[in-house]
Amino acid sequence: MPGRKTAIITGSTSGIGLAIAKAFAAERWNVVVNSFTDAPQDHAVADIMAEEHAAEVAYIQADMSKAADCRTLVAKAAETFGSVDVLVNNAGIQHVAPAEEFPPQMWDAIIAINLTSAFHTTAVAIPLMKKEGWGRIINIASAHGLVASPFKAAYVSAKHGVLGLTKTVALEVATSGITCNAICPGYVLTPLVEAQIPDQMKAHDMDRETVIRDVMLRKQPTKQFITVEQVAATTLFLCSDAAAQINGTHISVDGGWTAE
């Protein structure tokens, strides 16, 4: 809708991405919801969100493991709404295994979706934001962008890379009215994290409750999962006037994990 800013959130039909999309819709932004599946329920997510918040919400299918899809997603969003003002690179997958047993195809997929996709979407979004003289690029990284954990070689590598990309882009766009920052959540109980629990149980030979307490939340001092709403609120803050001079850095939402 003319006069409203537009936000793209990749990987946004569930989990953190969905919460972020809902937060923007609640503020009456134009919102682009994305997944790779293009199923009826994906379109329903956008339709329900639009109705609940009286916002313009479009679903655009794109496989974030494919460079062309990443770039086309941003182009289609601009074509649909006339601008791309906020890009939230959120899409991600995970696999847990020792390095010597890590499937090479999973390494490639995790690097492509968690890191390389952010490069492609950002590269297309920057000229559009420069044209408007304003933009916000927000990369959903992780506490694992700052510290490592065993059995997550690809994920940790990708998220460290996301922080490097964030800093580099921030320096390049600093005089253009654009900022680029990252959010580093600790453990958020999303479908992605839920799916890790059986793998972690196997890797550590523990039951579910013990894995959650002694592995997942072991380094999270509050001993509580981060909520998707808390990550979404941080994303909105980075788009506010109060955050205009926050650039090239990260905000940790991790219950104190990386304070040690």
pLDDT tens string 235-251: 999 999 999 999 999 99
Active-site residue numbers?
155
pLDDT at 106: 98
- As a whole number, mean pLDDT of residues 128-146 equals 98
E strands, the chain, where?
A: 6-9, 30-35, 57-61, 86-89, 135-140, 178-185, 250-253
Report residue 244 as tokens: 């205009």
Taking the CA atoms of residue 72, residue 90, residue 228 and residue 28 in that order, the dihedral angle to the nearest 10 degrees is: -40
In order of their start, the domains of the chain are: 6-188+226-255 (3.40.50.720)
pLDDT tens string 174-227: 999 999 999 999 999 887 778 889 988 998 999 999 999 998 899 999 988 999
pLDDT tens string 28-44: 999 999 999 999 999 99
Which has the closest alpha carbon to 8: 190, 182, 139?
Answer: 139
pLDDT-based confidence at residue 257 (cuts at 50, 70, 90): very high
Query: pLDDT at residue 3 above 70?
Result: no
Neighbours of 240 (CB within 10 A): 10
pLDDT tens string 44-103: 999 999 999 999 999 999 999 999 999 999 999 999 999 999 999 999 999 999 999 999
User: DSSP for 68-91?
Assistant: HHHHHHHHHHHHHHS---EEEE--
pTM of the model: 0.94
At residue 194, what is the residue type? E
